[in-house]
A and B are shown apart, each in its own frame.
Chain A
Amino acid sequence: MSNKINHSMSLAKPDALDITNKQKIALAIGIIGLLILTLALFNTDFPNKGLFLTLALGLISGGIIIYSREAYLSKLEGIKNDGVWFKSISSRGTWGWIVGVILTAFYIILYFFPKYLGLGTDGAENTGLISLFDPLSKLLSGRPASQWFVYGTLYTVAILAFGYKFILKYRHNRYQQLRTGSVMFFQLGFAFLIPEFMYVMNNDLPYYDLKSVWPLNYYIFDEWSVNGFLSNGNIGLALILFGIISIFVITPILTYKYGKRWYCSWVCGCGGLAETAGDSFRQLSSKKMSAWKLERWLIHTVLVFSVVMTVAMIYTYLGYDKNDFWLTRGVFISLVIGFLTLVFAGVMYFKRQELGKDAKYGAIGFFVVIALLLIMHFTGTTNQIFYIKSGALRSAYGLYIGSIFSGVIGTGFYPILGSRSWCRFGCPMAAILGFQQRLFSKFRITTNGGQCISCGNCSNSCEMGIDVRAYAQKGENIVRSSCVGCGICSAVCPRGVLKLENDSMEGRINPTEVLLGNDVDLMDLVNKK
């Protein structure tokens, strides 16, 4: 080995540094934990399930914790990206593909074939992997585990353990630590524990992760969900009202003050996983202009789909009993159209100039939605909408967007597309927040005058595929809909060029041709022309 010279002259793939012996032991510990889960998956009937589940989750977490302590605490504080593009797992190498395939397969089984995980149907006992989680589920809520409980537990363990790793990695950076602490808290509390406790208190209530806001939480306005809430008195009513207030009141206020980061990289579960377990893959997002174009079309199409789907769904069940509730189909559709028109008119009035040629696309999008809603209203029957069975739209959305896009592709493809491909290309919630962030928010990433050296660390580490450098090297602030405010571009910048800030709206977008540092007269001449 010692005489091996890397003759490839490759600038991309020299040998990655070996991990230390302690890290190898940590890996072994983690793998034993995974092995227990795998054995359970293949129907090993462990005698004391509680013990083995504790052991499995404990070993996995312990492995990650020991590994990260060895990786980061043995070094001085600072940026820890050495060898990221040499390691097979984080540079789309063999390990990257293997992990990608395993994750994808797991998601496909989870969403479409839960019986292979051991889900007992028609009252039958759970077997396999799911039965291993029964003791924990019974402890928390008294009911046997489901595939979603297994998924939720593993998801939470991943965010907590890799969150710890991330906090160590950025132990010089308090923004990163607080942000990570926040997603760990919201995942453990809001997504995992509170819904279980809510079930204990009132087992008729539908599962509700309070931090999951429509349209990310696309099922909250489903008929079964709404009925579930409404049939549970005040608490149910309060919950559904909270769901409505979340998107129409809380979200706009917080996004105005802090940008969409308050949600995407401080609260959201999808974001939480991307920022912790997905951190090693953030550099894999495509920074090409073509990817940005695709992103804009895709994410807004999903948004339109989700709005129309939700309206159609509510519209359908409003039709059944129009007499006992003031909200009739006609009133509802008018309200929706009125609201959308108000938003559209407001944007066109206040921000027409800023939008430039995008205003045209915005207008097209708006009129498409309105047309769809009108067509729906005038062609819809009791059972059919758009001449298809009324539930079909909802099913299609749940299947293609809710499961395949957000789960299978969004997470399964972490090692291939980077950690935020769902957030970037698909999430309708991110689209709404981003729209607001771009137009009505105090948030921006400020560029520090003329200090940028165009090195590209910022762009490379942007999980949302923003070419941050393109702005920084022009001395231009970064005001982009997709920015989730993770702050890593600012952290990795070797020259202190980038700062996430909430400041006044004025001068937030500052296109410059000639940067600070050059002749003052020339700057005036060129920049203000």
Chain B
Amino acid sequence: MKEHIVIIGNGISGVTAARHIRKLSDKKITIVSAETEYFFSRTALMYIYMGHMKFEHTQPYENWFWKKNRIDLKKGYVSNIDTDAKTLHFAEGDSLKYDKLIIATGSKPNKFGWPGQDLEGVMGMYHKQDLENLEKHAPNKEVCKRAVIVGGGLIGIELAEMLNSRSIPVTFLVREDSFWNGVLPSGESEMINRHIKNHHIDLRLGMNLKEIKSDENGKVKSIIIQETGEEIECNVVGLTAGVSPNIDFIKDSNIETGRGVKVNRYLETNIPDVYAIGDCAEQHEGINGRRPIEAVWYTGRMMGETLAQTICGNKIQYNPGHWFNSAKFMDIEYQTYGWVFANPRENEAHFHWKHEDDTKCITICYDTTTNAFLGINTFGIRMRHETFDTWLTEKRDVDYVINHLSEANFDPEFYSHYEADILLAYNKQLQTA
């Protein structure tokens, strides 16, 4: 009989693993999901609410794809895993035997025990069900007179943009004193603050949620701010204070867990033939300065690519290359290559340039002793991944990077170029420094 690979979770990690296993082998593959029948792109949920796309457009593969590639799809909620009998038990009552198991269950929104956090109208923005919930409670500005978002990260600002697209007034509570400044250097973070306000979003920096108040029907009525005690009436509360691995159903099994499912560099858990990939996997220690848990789209994909090799007989370590990422803050695109921390670490310095229109800026981090280029954050200017990946591998110094910045430009044709301006600012800074 063919070896049966069962994958829990039909997100990018699980689906990538399945696709690559299929390319490399003839094994029997089953993907289990409780969320949706078919793979969809979670990152696109916001565009459905905004009316840019319909749900079907977020599905990267047509529905015939799975049968054609002999990937079985099972809709069901795994309630527990019996690793001794190599069997999954479903909440629906049935069970499924596996030879090898891949856990790829992703994340769930964080809740920090706020009073009222489970009221009707309180939601994260992660699952398809969250979107359905939002559609129900915030279809328009008449039903939802105001929404409050708690947590200033990437999902928080996306949720703000979503609600804004339907003219629903938004109050945005951010714990930090500037948006996402645990990650972004201050110049960038402050530019985004201004951009958020330009979109008429009520941005409250340095504010925490104290409690969510209920009306007589168990629905959200208002929230109280910790710092000021101010009560803000609202119909929807979005909880977007980060995510954590979605692994509650594993806690009773023999599989070792920390915050996530503990895995080694081969993405193996402590139990033979059980693997974990994507947002729910936790490395024993971070790789190349990365965090042990990386809830990023592309790392999930890369773990899937890697694990497929291991499962198909070419045992290989998960070994991500140079850090990169991207996001979009309302109208401002953001990309990062290499490491730029919010504050320069020891022997590090930042060069920051900002365009006068206040929607474009870059920050370059370099080593003050060796002058080595360490990373770049870019806002409103697209850069070429391949070029920066090469420069980081070649350990170019910061002068080289600044002088060759135009080679990395990835903006559409006919866009204005800012390299000369950036070089000028850089030289000026050296003179004054």
Contacts and interface: CB of A to CB of B under 8 A. Distances in A.
Interface residues of A, number: 71
Contact of A519 (B60, B131, B306, B331): B306
Nearest to B15: A454
Contact of A81 (B51, B301, B309): B51
Given A84-B51, A455-B41, A522 B298 contact: no
B44 interface: yes
B426 interface: no
Contacts of B139: 5-6, 14-15
A517 B302 contact: yes
B424 interface: no
Contacts of A331: none
Interface string A67-81: 000000000111101
Interface in A478-524: 487, 490-492, 494-496, 499-501, 513-522
B95 interface: no
A54 interface: no
Contact of A495 (B331, B335, B414): B335
Contact of B58 (A82, A456, A526): A456
Interface in A168-182: 172-175, 178
B53 A457 contact: yes
Contact of A455 (B43, B298, B410): B43
Contact of B51 (A86, A178, A494): A86
Contact of B319 (A2, A172, A522): A522
A529 to B, nearest CB: 11
Contacts of A11: 48, 54-55, 131-132, 135
A518 B302 contact: yes
Contact of A83 (B50, B297, B306): B50
B52 A514 contact: no
Contacts of A455: 41, 43-44, 47, 58
Nearest to B59: A456
A448 B382 contact: yes
A450 B385 contact: yes
A250 interface: no
Contacts of B51: 14, 16, 81-87
B92 interface: no
Contact of A4 (B142, B333, B386): B142
A516 B62 CA distance: 25
Given A5-B136, A448-B384, A85 B54 contact: yes
A246 interface: no
A288 interface: yes
A172 B330 CA distance: 14
Nearest to A11: B55
A470 interface: yes
B389 interface: yes
Contacts of B425: none
A4 B142 CA distance: 8
A43 interface: no
A172 B383 CA distance: 17
Interface stretch (B274-282, B321-329, B344-352): B321-329
Contacts of B165: 82-83
B230 interface: no
B135 A9 contact: yes
Contacts of A78: 330-331
Nearest to A288: B62
B413 to A, nearest CB: 5
Contacts of A288: 62
Contacts of A12: 48, 54-55
Interface string B113-148: 000000000000000000110011001101100000
Contacts of B55: 11-12
Nearest to B164: A82
A490 B413 CA distance: 10
Interface in A1-41: 1-7, 9-12, 14-17
A258 to B, nearest CB: 10
A3 B302 CA distance: 47
Given A11-B48, A11-B55, A448-B385, A500 B412 contact: yes
A469 interface: yes
Interface in B321-380: 321-322, 324, 326-328, 330-331, 333, 335
A473 interface: yes
Interface in B216-267: none
Nearest to B52: A81
Contacts of B198: 76
Contacts of A459: 57
A496 B143 contact: no
A283 to B, nearest CB: 8
Contacts of B142: 1-4
Given A16-B51, A499-B410, A519-B316, A454 B60 contact: yes
B69 interface: no
Nearest to B53: A460
A56 to B, nearest CB: 33
A453 B41 contact: yes
B112 interface: no
Contacts of B166: 14, 17
Interface string A437-466: 000000000101111011111011000000
Q: Which 6 A-B pairs have the closest CB atoms?
A: A449-B385, A78-B331, A496-B382, A6-B139, A455-B44, A519-B319
8 contacts: A17-B140, A81-B50, A83-B51, A84-B51, A172-B331, A446-B410, A496-B383, A517-B298
Interface of B: 12, 20, 23, 41, 43-44, 47-48, 50-55, 57-60, 62, 131-132, 135-136, 139-140, 142-143, 165-167, 198-199, 297-298, 301-302, 305-306, 309, 314, 316-322, 324, 326-328, 330-331, 333, 335, 382-386, 389, 393, 410-416
Given A82-B52, A83-B165, 4 more contacts: A2-B143, A6-B139, A78-B331, A456-B57
